[in-house]
Amino acid sequence: MITFQEALNHTTKEIPELDTELIHLRDSYGRVLAQNVYSDINMPPFNKAAVDGFACRRVDLEEPLEVIETIAAGKVSQRTVAEGKCAKIMTGAMLPKGADCVVMVEQTELLADGRVKILNLKTKNNIAYKAEDIKTGELVLQSNTLIAPQHQAVMAAVGATKIIVYRKARVAVFSTGDELVEPEQQPEQGKIRNSNGIQLVNQASRMGCEVRYGGIIPDTAEDSERMIREAYHWSDVILLSGGISMGEFDFIPAVLQKLQFDIKFRTISVQPGKPTVFGRSGDKFVMALPGNPISSFNIFELLAKPMIYRLMGYAYTAKRFEFPLAVDYKRKRSVRLAFIPAILNENGVNPVGYHGSAHINALSAANVLFEIPVGTTEMLKGEKVHVRFI
């Protein structure tokens, strides 16, 4: 049995990045940049008004000013603001020649003769200066950035419409177990519905993977081998759930070895989630997760997600925060690092009623997992615990 940190080292070190492809900016949400992005323009490209108001010369502010024109956003003024003059100007419009400040419309008064009186003689300049945000040629986004809408906004501004990103990881998902039926079926006696299948498919999908669901593998060595072999050719990562404990029908580890996977670990000191198999064969990876739905969910988040993101070029590390426990918490044994579903609210961290790792509605009510370190059986209300959002 290895520690959680050792397992994480296996799933995050020496993971090769996938190939890259050229895509359009509009398809880039959730993808990972495989190039730096530089600006092809200055931002702003010209001195522009930061407010609606009057473009003036600061030396002239004491006397009422004659308004020579109105400059709308997107228009270029051909005139010069000379002594005693000003131009009405809209936010975002290019500053006219001669002007060195823009007085907010709220700080002016329109006189009966059509001139404008400036009420705030100490006005700020209210100008967004050329290139103050971004200079032509400047690096605006670094390679290996996971692209969110705000990154797309930057790329749109600098005209980066064709970009190179890492290809999506191809992930095959299987459930294992003769007791499983698919969710649309009514389980006969002794059977349960497959809940890990859809959970894993969408844990991978929401990371931007290309996912294929391969169905339920019956508990036989032959079926396991045949179905995993089929998925092997297409996928970068095979995710399985169940079939890896010490039961008589837990065939998966032996099958993976037969398929030439180099098994990096088989048990980890994590609760829940002790039986977890991680293997590698060349550039292909397999992770067999515990069958229990909470264990399966947790181990995907804790170990599979960082691994798959690295394949896709993104150095994901889970963010952990400290919050106080809202109640006392006890557990019987302390040999494993525990990740317990909890609800984080204004009172702190509230562990959800949780009978064991099969208790899925406990997980669906939770918004965080909190950690109980190895060696700790009891934590008191108010004590700080590490949480990660799920």
User: Cβ distance 167 to 61 under 8 Å?
Assistant: no
245 contributes a contact to ligand AMP by CB under 6 A: yes
Q: Which is nearer to Mg ion, 241 or 269 (CB)?
A: 241
With the CA atoms of 296, 298, 302 and 305 taken in that order, what torsion angle do they form, in degrees rounded to the nearest 10?
Answer: 60
Closest to ligand AMP by CB, 178 vs 371, is 178
**Minimum distance from residue 221 beta carbon to Mg ion (Å):** 13
Could you tell me how many residues of this chain bind Mg ion (CB under 5 A)? Answer: 3
Q: How many residues bind ligand AMP (CB under 6 A)?
A: 20
Out of 47, 108, 126, 241, which residue is the one contacting ligand AMP (CB under 6 A)? 241
| Smallest gap from residue 274 Cβ to ligand AMP (A) | 10
Residue 214 binding partner per list ligand AMP, Mg ion, none, with a CB distance cut-off of 5 to 8 Å that depends on partner kind: none
Cα–Cα distance measured from residue 262 to residue 216, given in angstroms and rounded to the nearest whole number: 24
Closer of 177 and 214 to Mg ion (Cβ): 177
Question: To the nearest 10°, the Cα dihedral for 285, 390, 205, 268?
Answer: 20
SS3 content of the chain, % helix, strand, coil (to 5): 20, 35, 45
Give least dist CB 288 to ligand AMP, A: 9
CB of 25 to ligand AMP, least distance (A): 38
Closest CB 223 distance from ligand AMP, rounded Å: 14
Q: Residue 194: which of Mg ion, ligand AMP, none does it interact with, CB under 5 to 8 A by kind?
A: ligand AMP
Cα–Cα distance for residue pair 48/60, rounded to 1 Å: 20
Report the residue from 96, 208, 242, 313 that binds Mg ion according to the rule CB under 5 A: 242
Amino acid of residue 305: K
Task: Output the CA torsion 225→228→233→237 (10° steps).
Answer: -140
- For 152, other C-beta atoms within 10 Å of its C-beta total 17
**Integer CA distances (angstroms), 106 to 21, 59, 103, 156, 358, in order:** 51, 20, 8, 33, 63
The correct pick among 17, 100, 133, 179 for binding ligand AMP (CB under 6 A) is: 179
Is the distance from CB of 45 to CB of 91 less than 8 angstroms?
Answer: no
Does residue number 214 form part of the binding site for ligand AMP (CB under 6 A)?
no
| 177 sits near Mg ion (criterion: CB under 5 A) | yes
Among 39, 196, 224, 235, binds ligand AMP (CB under 6 A): 196
How far apart (Å, rounded) are the C-alpha atoms in residues 265 and 255?
15
Residues of the shown chain interacting with Mg ion in the complex, contacts defined by CB under 5 A: 177, 242-243
Residues of the shown chain interacting with ligand AMP in the complex, contacts defined by CB under 6 A: 175, 177, 179-180, 192, 194-197, 241-245, 247, 290-293, 358
